[in-house]
Amino acid sequence: MEITIKQAQSLVDEWIKTYGVRYFSELTNMTILTEEVGELARIMARTYGDQSFKKSDLEKDPADEIADILWVLICLANQIGIDLTDAFHKNMEKKTTRDKERHIQNIKLNQ
C-alpha cells in the first residue's frame, strides 16, 4: 500500500491517539531517535564494515530499524507542527540550488 508523507503523518497521529495515549515529550522522542539511529548504525557496521555479528545482532532487520527512525521523525514533526511534505520539497529545492554542479564536478565521484 502506497501512502503519501502527509498520510503517514496522519496515520502516526491516529495511532498515537488510539494506542499510545499521548506523544512522548519532544526530548524523549529525540533520545529515542538517537537510539534508533544507533541500532541502524550497529547493523550497518556489521553488515558493511569490519565488525562481526553478535548473536543478538542477527535478528535485526535494517528495514525495520529505518522504519523505526521514520516513525520517530514523523512523531517529532507532528509534535512541533512540521508538514513533512512541504519541508521535503523545500529541502530538495535548497539542495538542488546549492549542489546542482558541486557533485558533478567532484573529481572523487567521477573516477
Q: pLDDT tens, 63-105?
A: 999 999 999 999 999 999 999 999 999 999 999 999 888 888 8
Per-residue pLDDT at 92: 96
Per-residue pLDDT at 5: 98
For 15-71, the pLDDT digits (tens) are 999 999 999 999 999 999 999 999 999 999 999 999 888 888 788 899 999 999 999
Residue 89 maps to a domain: no
- Overall domain count for the chain: 1
Q: What is the mean pLDDT of residues 3-8?
A: 98
Residue 63 maps to a domain: yes
b/e code 52-82 from CB counts within 10 Å (16+ = b): eeeeeeeeeeeeebeebbebbbbbbbbeeee
For 45-58, the pLDDT digits (tens) are 999 999 888 888 78
Structural domain for 31, as ranges? 5-84
Per-residue pLDDT at 51: 87
Residue 109 maps to a domain: no
Q: Domain with 36 in it: what CATH number?
A: 1.10.287.1080
